[in-house]
Amino acid sequence: MIPPQEASARRREIEDKLKQEEETLSFIRDSLEKSDQLTKNMVSILSSFESRLMKLENSIIPVHKQTENLQRLQENVEKTLSCLDHVISYYHVASDTEKIIREGPTGRLEEYLGSMAKIQKAVEYFQDNSPDSPELNKVKLLFERGKDALESEFRSLMTRHSKVVSPVLILDLISGDDDLEAQEDMTLEHLPESVLQDVIRISRWLVEYGRNQDFMNVYYQIRSSQLDRSIKGLKEHFHKSSSSSGVPYSPAIPNKRKDTPTKKPVKRPGHEHDFRVKHLSEALNDKHGPLAGRDDMLDVETDAYIHCVSAFVKLAQSEYQLLADIIPEHHQKKTFDSLIQDALDGLMLEGENIVSAARKAIVRHDFSTVLTVFPILRHLKQTKPEFDQVLQGTAASTKNKLPGLITSMETIGAKALEDFADNIKNDPDKEYNMPKDGTVHELTSNAILFLQQLLDFQETAGAMLASQETSSSATSYSSEFSKRLLSTYICKVLGNLQLNLLSKSKVYEDPALSAIFLHNNYNYILKSLEKSELIQLVAVTQKTAERSYREHIEQQIQTYQRSWLKVTDYIAEKNLPVFQPGVKLRDKERQIIKERFKGFNDGLEELCKIQKAWAIPDTEQRDRIRQAQKTIVKETYGAFLQKFGSVPFTKNPEKYMKYGVEQVGDMIDRLFDTSA
């Protein structure tokens, strides 16, 4: 049982808690009431805000839509105004650009092309949108005027700045072949760089926008003229130089002109100039005096033509490099073909003139003119690979011009060779043309000089002969084949020469002089063959040629020695009288001895007088023949003197014994010496 005090305390505690709970509950009710009130107020505010928002939305949305429409309208207006401005600008193009077009593009190409672009756009606009507009005709007319002005500017730039290449510069360009480093620096500047760029821009515009190809004709006509004049200028340079100094101007000479880019000496393209061409020209021409100058001119013409051929190749290569920058690719080959025609035709015509002159010269038997064909043909064949490369893409007729000229020259060259061989064989026997001293005949020296000249043109001459062969193998002849043909030809000429010399030798009444004549000519031929490569060339088809000539020479020496028999026969042992020593000679025996002495003396004097005027140019042969003859005569005469010198066959021995043995030897030593 709980005590009363604890129960009372417990009750009070519970009552206090209850009271606190009631107070809390009362606070919560008050708070809930306030919260409800606040909620009602918030709901009322939100409802009012929602109502206001709906009203605002109902007011703003129509305004927004109107604003959006206004903005769209404004954009359309702006676009319309822009289009109007753009369209209106086309109507102003003519007036805005007319002054520039009228003044032309000179010095203001960039601005001018900009104006032409505006005019072109205006033309396109009016053609698409207002084809009947008078403005279209106005801008069209302006465009055509502008295009014509650009064409005129193109022509003007090309005409003003295209210069003839100086001969000195061309010679440097040709000689640069031997120096690769120098050749790299030898690019010709046909147009200044700024002018070149303007020309390129104009050409591209004319092709792309002008739809015009006439400027290409203008280009090739102007450049063709410059190319042709450059080559003709080089030819004139050779003529002027040869007439003033005899030597073409060389870039190596001091005080060179400023347009010479290098300091290389002039060389004949492909080969050094051979002096023997001139020498042989004079020797082969049986006319003298006034024609000597003609031979010099032939040499100059040959040299000039060879240089002009090389110049054409180099200048044509340079022209194509220039053309490739200016002319559209698909028109380059055709334009280049047209560009080079005048210069190429000039070279081919000159070549044909050389062939024609050679043909006429063959008829006259003037083989000096024919010689010009050999170095020219050799150079043409050497240059042909470069020619073919330069002419790639040109018309077949253009490509065939050089091969045609080469064929003509080979044909006329072969004709010249054949006619020369026939001329050697059929050269008439003219007494007045025979050397009175029995020395080498002009025909022999001419023939040998001609054959020696062929050594410098072995391949060329061999090819000439091979080109006339009709056998199937000749179509693809080898160098060995042409060498054999040339050897056969040389042997033919030598054979014809030998036959003609034999015929000519019969003109001499004295067989001894005839023998000396043949000896001199055979010896000259043999020595000439041995001194050059001719003997090796002859040996290709005739192994025994050298031995044969030596045998001929010995035969003629023996024939000559027989001329002394009429002298030595008088004193020969077999023809002397027999007598007994110590026995007085009879009158008949004394007379015979006198006749022998007189016959020997007269014969010796006569032969020495006659043969002293004869000539043996070869010192070695002359000494050999003298010595051999001196030995024979001195031995015979010495034996005769020993036998009859002390015999009393006369009261005047000095009348018959006029010469001592050594005197006879001295007299023979003076044979073949016109100066003695």
pLDDT tens for 353-396 read: 999 999 998 998 888 778 889 999 999 999 999 999 999 989 99
pLDDT confidence of residue 285: 43
Q: What is the tens place of the pLDDT at every residue in 13-54?
A: 898 888 898 889 888 988 898 888 888 888 888 888 888 888
| R_g (Cα) of the chain, nearest Å | 57
Q: What mean pLDDT do residues 104-108 have?
A: 88
Confidence at 255, pLDDT banded by 50, 70, 90: very low
- Give the helix/strand (H/E) hosting 482: helix 479-505
Lowest mean pLDDT across 70-74, 495-499, 530-534: 70-74
Confidence at 643, pLDDT banded by 50, 70, 90: confident
pLDDT(90) > 80: no
Alpha helices in 427-478 (DSSP H): 442-455, 458-467
Q: What mean pLDDT do residues 144-152 have?
A: 90
Could you tell me which residue, 525 or 49, shows the higher pLDDT? 525
Question: Which pair of structure tokens corresponds to residue 372?
Answer: 């010009």
Whole-Å CA distances, 204 to 328, 411, 476: 8, 48, 48
Of 332, 537, 389, 357, residue with least CA distance to 453: 537
pLDDT confidence of residue 4: 76
pLDDT(624) > 90: yes
Whole-Å CA distances, 240 to 246, 301, 304: 9, 12, 11
Ranges 52-56, 136-140, 666-670, most confident: 666-670
Inter-residue contact 153 to 191 (CB < 8 Å): no
pLDDT(183) > 60: no
List CB contacts of 610: < 8 A, sequence separation 6 or more.
Answer: 510
List CB contacts of 482: < 8 A, sequence separation 6 or more.
Answer: 459, 462, 463, 465, 466
List CB contacts of 248: < 8 A, sequence separation 6 or more.
Answer: 171, 237, 238, 241, 242, 266, 303
Lowest mean pLDDT across 83-97, 200-214, 275-289, 477-491: 275-289
Inter-residue contact 318 to 188 (CB < 8 Å): yes
pLDDT confidence of residue 279: 38
Inter-residue contact 308 to 354 (CB < 8 Å): no
Q: What mean pLDDT do residues 96-107 have?
A: 85
Our separate counts of H helices and E strands in the chain read: 25, 0
Q: What mean pLDDT do residues 273-290 have?
A: 38
Q: What mean pLDDT do residues 171-190 have?
A: 67
pLDDT(408) > 60: yes
Question: Which pair of structure tokens corresponds to residue 575?
Answer: 């023809």
Q: Which residue has the tokens 């792309």?
A: 208
- pTM, 2 dp: 0.72
Of 216, 90, 112, 202, residue with least CA distance to 157: 202
pLDDT confidence of residue 579: 67
Confidence at 291, pLDDT banded by 50, 70, 90: very low
Lowest mean pLDDT across 52-61, 156-165, 350-359: 52-61
Inter-residue contact 280 to 451 (CB < 8 Å): no
Of all residues in the chain, what percent carry a pLDDT higher than 70? 84
CA distance 284 to 510: 29
pLDDT confidence of residue 296: 61
CA distance 95 to 116: 13
CA distance 116 to 101: 8
Angle between helix axes 545-561 and 479-505 (nearest 10 degrees) is: 10
Lowest mean pLDDT across 27-31, 152-156, 332-336, 578-582: 578-582
Inter-residue contact 224 to 338 (CB < 8 Å): yes
CA distance 288 to 279: 13
Q: What mean pLDDT do residues 391-419 have?
A: 92
pLDDT(168) > 80: yes
pLDDT confidence of residue 499: 93
Inter-residue contact 227 to 316 (CB < 8 Å): yes
Mean pLDDT, rounded, of the chain: 83
Q: What mean pLDDT do residues 140-167 have?
A: 90
